[in-house]
Amino acid sequence: MENINWYPGHMKKTRELIQENLKLVDTVIEVIDARIPISSRNPVIDELIKGKRRIIALNKSDLADKRANELWMEHFRNSGYHAVAMNCMSGEGVQPLMKLLNAIQEEKNAGKLRRRPLRMMIVGIPNAGKSSLINRLTGKKSARTGNKPGVTRGKQWLNLGPEMQLLDTPGILWPKFEDPKAGENLAYTGSIKDEILDIATLAMHLTGVLSDRFPELLKQRYKLEALGETPLETMELIAAKRGFILSKERVDYERTGRTILDEFRSGAIGRITLEMPEDMV
């Protein structure tokens, strides 16, 4: 897990794209994963955006702990940002976001004879939900979406109405993970392609985190009376409960790992937030 280091060439192009077009926009909408608000915020974006007005969209808030969502909203607002909790797949949070954008638009054109459109840029790491948010804002499938990170390509100007325009950009990761936990959290939530990871090992690490912090949710989901002494033993207990046993009583670690990851990502294990404001250094 310590060697996750993923920075394809198109990520470098995206950084250049943001730099080139930032001067054209009034406001930046940064989409992050509400389950990992620290790990899913790109420090490169922070560096590029700097003084621009910013809205933090905490997407997948329906999968995150409700109280944690409230604490993160308070944290971001106290830090000088606007913040909206969202579920971009269902559309929850879109109305409050549009109300906020309309208020910013009115403020921008206050006292002016000629009204100008509010121009926005939407940014975020792959798989954070940018494309789903764009489709909700425009009311149509303007951007491609997919379960795998890195689907969106190129640059698009999209109309949100007569007075609003949105610049979409592909997802952008950073050159390296200064904190290995950030890489792990991104892998847990699916922001790094599973194809480059060892699924069984990744799931074992996640099982360890859930065992330490959310043991009751883990026991309830997999009908375990007790967890194992180690994450590996807990995975083996889960495999036995689900019948993921190969010939000669061998545990199917790959299938067990995939199940744990899928059920964490879908919220089947429970509403879980892996990072809290007090975790920030």
Identify the pLDDT of residue 150: 43
User: How far is the C-alpha of 61 from the C-alpha of 65, rounded, in Å?
Assistant: 8
Q: pTM of this prediction?
A: 0.86
Phi, psi angles (nearest 5°) of residue 244: -90, 65
Reported confidence tier of residue 212, pLDDT bands at 50, 70, 90:
very high
Q: What is the mean pLDDT of residues 238-267?
A: 96
Q: Which CATH architecture has domain 9-168?
A: 3-Layer(aba) Sandwich (3.40)
* 8 Å CB contact between 45 and 172: yes
Examine the pLDDT at 11 and tell me if it is beyond 80: no
Identify the pLDDT of residue 155: 63
* 8 Å CB contact between 129 and 173: no
Closest C-alpha among 88, 83, 191, 172 to residue 138: 88
Q: Which residue has the tokens 């994450």?
A: 231
Give the whole-number percent of the chain exceeding pLDDT 70: 85
Domain layout of the chain by residue ranges: 9-168, 198-279
pLDDT mean across residues, the chain: 85
User: How far is the C-alpha of 73 from the C-alpha of 37, rounded, in Å?
Assistant: 10
Going by DSSP bridges, is the β-strand pair 156-161/53-59 parallel, antiparallel, or unpaired? unpaired
- CATH number for the segment(s) 198-279: 1.10.1580.10
Count of C-beta atoms within a 10 Å radius of residue 278: 7
User: How far is the C-alpha of 71 from the C-alpha of 77, rounded, in Å?
Assistant: 10
Least confident of 31-35, 38-42, 77-81, 174-178: 174-178
Q: Where are the alpha helices (DSSP H) in the chain?
A: 9-21, 43-49, 66-78, 94-109, 130-138, 180-189, 199-213, 215-222, 231-242, 253-266
Identify the pLDDT of residue 176: 56
User: How far is the C-alpha of 128 from the C-alpha of 15, rounded, in Å?
Assistant: 17
Give the whole-number percent of the chain exceeding pLDDT 90: 55
Supply 40's token pair. 């899913």
Identify the pLDDT of residue 149: 44
Q: What is the mean pLDDT of residues 250-266?
A: 97
Residue 27: beta bridge partners?
Answer: 53, 120
DSSP per-residue codes, 191-220? SS-GGGS-HHHHHHHHHHHHHHH-HHHHHH
Q: Do domains 9-168 and 198-279 have the same CATH topology?
A: no
Identify the pLDDT of residue 154: 54
pLDDT in tens, 221-240: 999 999 999 999 999 999 99
User: How far is the C-alpha of 105 from the C-alpha of 162, rounded, in Å?
Assistant: 12
Residue 32: beta bridge partners?
Answer: 58
Phi, psi angles (nearest 5°) of residue 243: 80, 25
Class of residue 202 by CB neighbours under 10 A (exposed 0-12, middle 13-18, buried 19+): buried
Identify the pLDDT of residue 173: 58
Examine the pLDDT at 10 and tell me if it is beyond 70: no
pLDDT in tens, 184-193: 999 999 888 7
Residue 58: beta bridge partners?
Answer: 32, 85
